[in-house]
């Protein structure tokens, strides 16, 4: 079964053939995900076969959500997510760390620029 996973911290998109033209499975999945603590919003599409999950990173991890989708049979088991640029394997934790480091660097540079402007 082919599936596609796109992840940015707090948002996960999964395309799976099991949802395509299957309103019953889409409702089942949405109902299940609504019961997971930390999931904020779920959008399913039976036209594209996708589910977009917005979640609170402090309450639930993308790994837990993906493992749940695997357990329910919606995706094949995977320990990695595809990187958006080259399809290279990137672990969810590595993606979170990378984004955090980028944000820290941007914040540091902004602070330095602000201090320089004030002097």
Q: Where are the domains of the chain?
A: 4-118
pTM score: 0.62
Which residues are CB-contacts of 42 (< 8 A; sequence separation ≥ 6)?
Answer: 29, 30, 33, 34, 51, 52, 53, 54
pLDDT, position 91: 54
Three-point CA angle 25, 26, 27, nearest 5°: 90
Q: Which CATH number fits domain 4-118: 3.40.50.620, 3.40.50.300, 3.90.1170.40, 3.30.70.100?
A: 3.30.70.100
The one-digit pLDDT tens for each residue of the chain (119 residues) are: 556 788 888 999 998 888 899 999 999 999 999 999 999 999 999 999 999 999 999 999 988 898 888 888 888 765 544 444 334 444 556 666 767 777 778 788 887 888 888 88
């Amino acid at each position: 079964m082919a599936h596609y996973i796109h992840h940015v911290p707090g948002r996960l998109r999964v395309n799976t053939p099991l949802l395509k033209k299957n309103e019953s499975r889409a409702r089942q999945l949405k109902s299940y995900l609504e019961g997971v603590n930390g999931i904020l919003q779920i959008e399913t599409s039976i036209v594209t076969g996708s589910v977009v999950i917005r979640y609170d990173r402090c309450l639930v991890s993308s790994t837990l959500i993906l493992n749940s989708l695997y357990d329910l049979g919606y995706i094949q088991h995977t320990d990695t997510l595809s990187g958006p640029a080259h399809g290279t394997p990137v672990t969810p934790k590595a993606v979170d760390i990378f984004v955090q480091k980028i944000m820290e660097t941007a914040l540091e540079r902004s602070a330095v620029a602000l201090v320089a402007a004030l002097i």
